[in-house]
Amino acid sequence: NAGVTQTPKFQVLKTGQSMTLQCAQDMNHEYMSWYRQDPGMGLRLIHYSVGAGITDQGEVPNGYNVSRSTTEDFPLRLLSAAPSQTSVYFCAAGGGQETQYFGPGTRLLVL
């Protein structure tokens, strides 16, 4: 049981480039979410999904896009990377009325 996995672990982008952060879970949770963690700002919700085909915005959704075609996968797309998107990104499965489980994170640097 791998839990929640994220790839890549680390990525460097140039301003304006796009990329997709991958997230997968094998726990069959309907609810998945993406957070970013910044020093002094704590964890902030970017987007979340309550099931395949259903997504919604969190607290800081601008510049990010998500889709949920399967229960297992919940990729996060950066449309045109900006230095302000330098952060550590965490994917989570579960939450709401259930225990929430986090992936190991993706550290992103935008130059």
Partner 1 sequence: KQEVTQIPAALSVPEGENLVLNCSFTDSAIYNLQWFRQDPGKGLTSLLLIQSSQREQTSGRLNASLDKSSGRSTLYIAASQPGDSATYLCAVPGVNTGGFKTIFGAGTRLFVKA
Q: Could you list the residues that contact partner 1 (CB under 8 A)?
A: 4, 31, 33, 40, 42-43, 45, 48, 50, 56, 58-59, 90, 92, 95-97, 99-105
Query: Min. distance of Cβ 80 from partner 1 in angstroms?
Result: 26
Q: What is the dihedral of CA 52, 19, 65, 85, to 10 degrees?
A: 130
Query: Min. distance of Cβ 16 from partner 1 in angstroms?
Result: 28
Question: How are beta strands 106-110 and 10-13 bridged, if at all?
Answer: parallel
Task: Give dist(CA 32, CA 72) in Å, integer.
Answer: 9
For residues 26 and 56, which CB has a smaller minimum distance to partner 1 in the complex?
A: 56
Query: Min. distance of Cβ 10 from partner 1 in angstroms?
Result: 10
